[in-house]
Structure 1
Amino acid sequence: MPSNDTLERFIARVESNAHAEACEEFYTEHASMQENQSPPRVGRDAHVANERKVMARARSVSSTCVRPVFVNGDHVVIRWIFRFEWLDGTVTRMEELAYQRWEGERIAEETFFYDPAQRVPRAPSDTTGA
């Protein structure tokens, strides 16, 4: 079970948009990460590489944890809102739930739940998601 201090440090790291670094610091070596019902990515190095690839396409990112964070033993649920401004000028706003299983102070499994329609980049004036 993660300590409250560890959860707060993890959230702060993501909110500072250090997504790849958060993976390096807070995931187990063989962690799995799954987007909705897609096949999971397995291994911390794969997570880090994916985060770096996404961030390289972004001009700016805003990451916000919507509280409260739900903790039940080794399981944690965090609601996130991300806003990506891409290099081509389009914008993606995503709201998701991250369902995590922790092993001590590190994330071993994570599944993201979100509406895949949110992944479609939009013109900057059309970011309401409607």
Structure 2
Amino acid sequence: MPSPARLEAFIAAVEGGAHAQAIEDFYTEDATMRENQAEPRRGRSTLVAQESAVLARTESVVSTCVRPVLVNGDHVAIHWIFEFAFKDGRQMRMEEIAWQRWDGERIAEEQFFYDPAQRKPG
């Protein structure tokens, strides 16, 4: 179960724009991450590489945690809003719920729930 301070540090890192670094700092080495019902990506290095690839296509990302954050033992639910400005001029707003299972002070599993129609940049 994450301590309140550790969870707040994770949220601050994401809101501060350190998305790939947050994976390095807050996820287990063998962490998994999945989008809706897709096959999970496995391993922290894979997760960092995927996040870095997304960020390489963006001019900026504004990340907002919509409170409250729900915590029940090792499980955490975070409502996020991400506003992307891509290098090609397109923009995209994504709203999602991140369902996480923490192993002590690190995230071991994360699944995102969102409407896939949001992934089409405007």
TM-score greater than 0.5 by the shorter chain = yes
The question of 1:61 aligning with 2:56 is answered: no
> In structure 1, what is the equivalent of residue 17 of structure 2?
17
Structure 1 unpaired stretches of 5+? 123-130
Write the distance in 1 (CA, Å) between the matches of 2:18 and 2:51. 9
> How far is 1:111 from its partner?
0.1
Structure 1 residue identity aligned to 2:64: T
> How far is 1:14 from its partner?
0.2
Write the distance in 2 (CA, Å) between the matches of 1:26 and 1:10. 7
> In structure 1, what is the equivalent of residue 93 of structure 2?
93
CA root-mean-square deviation: 0.3
> In structure 2, what is the equivalent of residue 74 of structure 1?
74
Write the distance in 1 (CA, Å) between the matches of 2:13 and 2:51. 13
> How far is 1:40 from its partner?
0.2
Structure 2 unpaired stretches of 5+? none
> In structure 2, what is the equivalent of residue 127 of structure 1?
none
Q: How many residues align structurally?
A: 122
Q: Highest Rg: 1 or 2?
A: 1
**TM-score between both structures, scaled by the size of structure 1:** 0.93
Superposed, which structure 2 residues align to 1:1-130 within 5 Å?
1-122=1-122
> How far is 1:97 from its partner?
0.1
Structure 2 residue identity aligned to 1:64: T
Structure 2 residue identity aligned to 1:63: S
Q: SS at 1:53's partner residue?
A: helix
Runs of 4 or more above 3 Å deviation: none
> How far is 1:52 from its partner?
0.5
**TM-score between both structures, scaled by the size of structure 2:** 0.99
